[in-house]
Amino acid sequence: MLEVGADAVAPIFPVRDLGAAVDHYTALGFEVTGDHDGYRFARYGAVYLHLSQVDAHDPATSTSAAYLYVGDADATHAAWAAAEVGGRLVAPADQSWGLREGAHVDLDGNLVRFGSWLTDPPA
């Protein structure tokens, strides 16, 4: 029988300036690797993002997004605020669906929401 499934997911974020995006995500604590003709791999713990140079990308029309489950949304917010990388950072708040969530929009309009469970995560 053929086994199917996936081990991980990596949203692909379009960026106008790959060097600036690498600096941005590195300052947030991502490990950015690769040098593949306008393409890089970013890792934050067990989370992966891909950064892709798209010269005609318009941040005002970006719909790229990723959600990061983190151990402590407040600590993530504090670390990212200290990085002073620009973009927009939203402080975490408790949500009715059981997560404490914050958000960051990078300079290319890509949304990274992050949250930690208020109680034990669902099974």
Higher pLDDT among residues 2 and 46, named by residue: 46
> Is 38 within 8 Å of 18 (Cβ atoms)?
yes
pLDDT at 35 over 90: no
- Residue 84 CA to residue 82 CA, distance in Å, equals 5
Provide the token pair at 115: 């949250």
Residue pointed to by tokens 């927009």 = 88
pLDDT digits (tens, 9 = 90+) for 63-104: 999 999 999 999 999 999 999 999 999 999 999 999 999 999
- Residue 113 CA to residue 123 CA, distance in Å, equals 21
- What value does the mean pLDDT of the chain take? 93
Domains of the chain: 12-55+64-117 (3.10.180.10)
Work out the pLDDT band at 1, boundaries 50, 70, 90. Answer: low
